[in-house]
Structure 1
């Protein structure tokens, strides 16, 4: 969930920069390799694209 920063017309640029600096936390990279091959579609990706795009015609 994100953080809400409320500003008004009296907020200075330096105050805004301080609040934005508080948000800059580095997250651990996600290893997407562990999800590779887990979903079985049952149909070739290209065949699916051609079939769905043909519905528009």
Structure 2
């Protein structure tokens, strides 16, 4: 979890720096990022559902 927080903080810091020096971010558009989020959610959906069902049935 710590790696995610550090990564998020570094991303925010770089984003702020880009804004201050008025540079356009090379990051993909928000639509692409939402698509990636959907892919990650889909990848974790079945293991999560199995875990929930295992706790419900036990």
TM-score, with length taken from structure 2: 0.33
Of structures 1 and 2, the one scoring higher in RCO (CA 8 A, sep 6+) is: 1
TM-score, with length taken from structure 1: 0.33
